[in-house]
Amino acid sequence: MPITDLLERNAKLYGDEVALVEINPEIKEEQRVTWKEYELIQPTSDSYYRRQITWGVFDEKANRVANTLIERGIRPGQKCAILLMNCLEWLPIYFGILKAGAIAVPLNFRFTSEEIDYCLKASDADVLFYGPEFIGRIEAIADKLKKEILLFFVGDQCPSYADDYYRHVSNSSSIAPRVLVQDTDKGAIYFSSGTTGFPKPILLLHEALSQSAQMEAKHHETTKNDVFLCIPPLYHTGAKMHWFGSLYTGSRAVILKGNSPESILSAVSNEGCTIVWLLVPWAQDILTAFESGKVNKDDYNLDQWRLMHIGAQPVPPSLIRRWLAVFPHHKYDTNYGLSESTGPGCVHLGMENVHKVGAIGVPGFNWKVKIVDEKNERVQQGEVGELCVKGRGVMVEYYKNPEATAEVLENGWLHTGDMARQDEEGFIYLVDRKKDVIISGGENLYPVQIESFLAANQKIHDVAVIGLPDPRLGEIAAAIIQVKEGQTLTEEEVNHFCLDLPRYKRPRKIIFANVIRNATGKIDKPALRKIYCGERLVEKQYNS
């Protein structure tokens, strides 16, 4: 069953029931704008902005998007990119693209103009839906883009170079288009890092999307009565595929714009949320807020909250012990995955296995796992090798990149690049990863990009960027800088130079030292990690 069939089924069975709620605690009542066609509901307090749509309206909006695209000449197989902050429009646009038989291409909202342009070209995008937060970045490349792709602006006061999304959608039919969508059709392109640090487009089938929905519902025992709180960005496979559990069961979900302890706890309390997916920093912030007395747990209605699960970065077992001490009735889970496996769940801890926190778990629903050596032969139990996974969620390819695809796909097996071992009970532990990507607060940082930026500083002779352990973010980017002979450079100067980098890419630690390179001239990052990280963490957990 293609993923679009689940939406249509929910519209028929639960048409008048609420599907999605959007909450923005930062928008006060008097600051509201009227969002066309969406039902505006008065908030339960005067402190946040709230909108909601039913399953029936959700499906109708997706149909209008699909028909708009078809009317503008978009045909099955063409690519439509989405560059939006989390909002109520996001998912109807995504499903409208799929209903038109087109391929959805979610873009990271942190991308610069250059990265947006690169990803649109790499995916052969024909359409871009973008929101008001990105006007500046799109204007910088608008002259180039408008000659090549169709631009839909999702907001008020549409720029002259773009089409007004609301006007076009409101004038299109709400009847489902006559486009046959099948499991074997190409459904989405997500982006991941490449060896050069530039994102690689990952092509997924509808079958992979449907598999992730069924798996999510099974792993977390999601029912029609559950309410899922979605905080991470919807462009990410993690957030999207965890929400797919709500889609599979026809249950309600809340999209929260904000991640402060007060925002999260208020949303759980006011909306009756039962399942919450957190990143490590958010879980730590909630516990710290309780421990400091800044937030009083008794001020919130949290009794119905049954499951907290974490993904996207290493999870310290001590954090889960602290969490369960505060929430002893909670179930806990974590899922390992990557965009190439359609997000989280190819390896799954399981809510019943909290005693195994530290492991990433066992093969997920409908997944196979093996650990191999450099000759691609299975290692003995307990030995370290590369983790490989196989299932319906494995990507088709890195789009239009057969060389990169061949490096990671072999007879249906996806080589993850992560080094792992399996214990005597069959639980898998990640030891380290081949890739140098740094996971900081759930975001991937690409050392090559940061190194290239810093190398432009006239006082820097050589530079290497590695990840250092951090109790809150999992890892932080550290720049090891070798200053040119005869030059002086301070940490303050480096930090000022890095102001031109997006905030999340700026190194959080500066180390002035020689950069070690091996005999072939490559930076010896294992040696640098040993020096600056020490003999740390024999077993590290990385999650979707």
Q: Which amino acid is at 527?
A: A
DSSP string, 361-381: BEE-TTEEEEEE-TTS-BPPT
The amino acid at residue 168 is H
Domain 438-533 in the same topology as domain 3-258: no
Fold of 3-258: Rossmann fold (3.40.50)
Helix (H), strand (E) at residue 5:
helix 3-14
Question: In Å, how far from its chain's centre is CA 328?
Answer: 28
CATH class entry, domain 438-533:
alpha beta
Q: Is the Cβ–Cβ distance between 225 and 250 less than 8 Å?
A: no
Nearest to 511, CA basis, from 487, 534, 533, 481: 481
What angle (nearest 5°) sits at the alpha carbon of residue 9, between those of residues 82 and 53? 55
Residue ranges per domain, the chain? 3-258, 438-533
Return all residues near 299 (Cβ < 8 A) that are at least 6 apart.
none
What letters, b where the CB count within 10 A reaches 16 and e where it falls short, cover 330-356? bbbbbbbbbbbbbbbbbbbbbbebbeb
Query: Would you state the structure tokens that stand for residue 303, as one six-digit string?
Result: 């009794």
DSSP class of residue 160 equals: T
Dihedral sign, CA of 95, 97, 103, 108?
A: negative
- What is the residue-level pLDDT of the chain in tens, covering all 544 positions? 899 999 999 999 999 999 999 998 876 544 444 444 444 444 444 456 899 999 999 999 999 999 999 999 999 999 999 999 999 999 999 999 999 999 999 999 988 899 999 999 999 999 999 999 999 999 999 998 888 899 999 999 999 999 999 999 999 999 999 999 999 999 999 998 543 457 899 999 999 999 999 999 999 999 999 999 999 999 988 889 999 999 999 999 999 998 999 999 999 999 999 999 998 878 888 998 998 899 999 999 999 999 999 876 657 787 888 899 999 999 999 989 999 999 999 999 999 999 998 889 999 999 999 999 989 999 999 998 899 999 999 999 999 999 999 999 999 999 998 888 999 999 998 876 666 778 888 887 878 778 878 988 989 888 999 999 998 898 999 999 999 888 999 999 999 999 999 888 999 999 999 998 764 456 788 789 889 986 443 233 333 3
Q: Is the pTM of this model over 0.75?
A: yes
